[in-house]
Structure 1
Amino acid sequence: MTITEVDGRQLRLTHLDRVLYPETGWTKAAALRYYALVAPKLLPHLAGRPASFLRFPGGVAEQRFWAKHLPAGAPDWLTTMQVTHSEGELEQVVVADLPTLIWAANLGALELHVPQWREDPAEHDRLVVDLDPGPGMSVVECCAVALLARELLVADGLTVWPKTSGAKGLHLAVPLRPTPARTAGAYARELAARLRVAHPGLVVDRMERRLRTGRVFVDWSQNNSAKTTAAPYSLRAGRVPGVSTPLEWAEVAACRSAEQLAFTPEQVAERAGDPWAGVLEEANWGRL
């Protein structure tokens, strides 16, 4: 165990040499270092949102579980929020600063997920479109659909930012002025249907997996208030360390192979600036 101080908060870091990704030997110490390096870009995207953690205490090959409620023994300096779920009221952590981020990562919270709202689940400030490649497809086809979706969104007066899912697909985010959840969800579903009607050989908007072969699934359901999406810069728990990586649109347009958009944590930490900075700027917020 190592005791360290992070921005004035004392933290006990454990099992730093534990291998979290057996295929590459990537350790818990590497995960903590990565989150410390990207914190200036990551934290603004987590601010004010209740976090859901996908925890892997023994690494990605061992047991995983979702953690939404404040765990026993958590530091009393954490920022929390009361959130109503189907199972009742839960006190959830808001990752408000670097000590909280490192505390969570030390618990094995490799993946950080947040909803499309702050404070009030009935009022969304973000629209998300999840592009998921079916069998026989890849992120290359997701990029093609992303460009088509961008055209429709821009025509509707909305600005959109892309990122990799950190797995096989893409996420598109549209910052909104506070919008009723039902309105945001209905618009996302309509957008998916418009894409499917215009490009039936490329796009599917229904949930049935049997329909996804050879197509990109446009998942509009991520705009349900109960659902969460991997935060930008969150690690992802695949065979090798992946990251949900914010992209420039030029990178999406230039994609010709899946390898072009598969970034390691080290590569993401070295990327200049934050392509998603505009998501946080109120002046760019749209209205449905």
Structure 2
Amino acid sequence: MPHGTITRGTTNTNRLRRVDRWIATLPALRTAVSPLVVDLGYGASGVTAFELQHRLARVRPEVEVVGLEISPERVATALDQLRSVHAGSTGFAADAPVSFALGGFEVPLPGGRSATVIRAFNVLRQYDEAEVPAAWRRMTGRLEPAGTLVEGTCDEIGRVASWVALGVDGPQTFTLSLRLAELERPSIVAERLPKVLIHRNVDGERVHALLVELDRAWRHNAPLSVYGPRQRWVAAVRTLGASGWPVLGPAARWRLGELTLPWSSVAPRGFAWE
């Protein structure tokens, strides 16, 4: 039986575009001999799996995507969509190597293959925080040795997102990605933090300190708004780095509204991978 709890199934076209373009930069994807990417818990529609394959194929044309759901009804719906894709009646390539199957955190794959990347978005929100490490360990156990699990959350239309990247040895980085146009304050991401962090936005926790400092840097660089929100955001990220936060580059990613830091910068107090 698939391991996990059924989600609400909320799915929207382009909802996961921010994380998809970040996944496209991963060394795991770019160097894998035969890249296999899993869209875990894709929801009521298989569209995010088709979009994922379409975006990643720009850097790895041979990439395969497998969509997994614990609901047989959702798998049946996605297979109907796949038939339409194969018939050439959609905007996706008719020969796109996308498939769908029943599965959860155990990540069952054909032939016992391991995954290059597992994208698990909006699947842990309904779980208790204490259940997250076990789910992470189970999913990372299905990765290739150099593979990456990307687990996170976003809003319904994909304008606010954040995620944790993990390897087989545990969490590596934390990323937030925001639509900069009309952004009032970066801490809006607090509503869409991964489950392991969403209840830690309180005094004494690292992620809270990060959001406080990021808001401060955003306000400090408000005069740069006359040049556009991207310039203001890049300056805010530089300000954050200058204040001691170990911001990761390159700056080209900052212009997309992204900010990435080592996991240790935001890890909850008392968090243990083992």
Give me the TM-score of the superposition, normalised by structure 1.
0.29
RCO greater where, 1 or 2, for CA within 8 Å and sep 6 or more? 1
Could you state the TM-score of these two structures normalised by the residue count of structure 2?
Answer: 0.30
Looking at secondary structure, tell me which structure has more strand per residue: 1
